[in-house]
Amino acid sequence: MEQYYPYIKSLHLIFIITWFAGLFYIVRLFVYQIEASEKPSPEREILGNQLKIMASRLWNIITWPSMILAVFFGIWLLLMRTFFLADAWMQVKLGFVILLLIYHFKCHEIYKQLQKGVVKHSSNYMRLFNEAPTIILFAVVFLVILKDGTNWIYGTIGIIVFAILLMMGYKIYKRIREK
């Protein structure tokens, strides 16, 4: 079974990439759906219907299957190399994976609301919400690459600082845009 490890790892990475692509784009579609809901009729209905179709196809054909397959192949890899579970970097990485899954399910909740025409968040909120998977992606890549040293700790701290700076930058940008 060990000879298949590189193939399983490759499939895991492919589905991680497509999962992230779906997560990045679905929230952009949420922004567009929210902004379309504020437009006058008939533009609101025309854009709203088209964006619902686009979101449905992305979410159900790309993002959900990619998440399921990324998790499936990730678990398979862990079963092949269970010793990684004892490593602190892997435990932290799995914590970030759990956060990403929570983010995915929150996106699903927002997706279902917007498909029903229910808008509970502003487009600005969604723009900021869209930064969460970026932070998780940076953190996981640094953890995986720097796993054999203590540098992953500094990388994780760096990601947290990056997230704080990103939020501050967004707030400044929002204030400038509102003037």
Binding-site residues for heme, in ranges, read: 12, 93
**In Å, how far are 78, 80, 115 from 83, measured between CA atoms?**
8, 9, 43
CA distance 69 to 54: 22
List the end-to-end C-alpha distance of the chain, in Å, as a whole number.
61
Residues annotated in the binding site, as ranges?
12, 93
Q: Give, in degrees to the nearest 5, the angle at Cα 157 between 156 and 162.
A: 95
Contacts of 56 (CB under 8 A, 6+ apart): 115
CA distance 71 to 25: 20
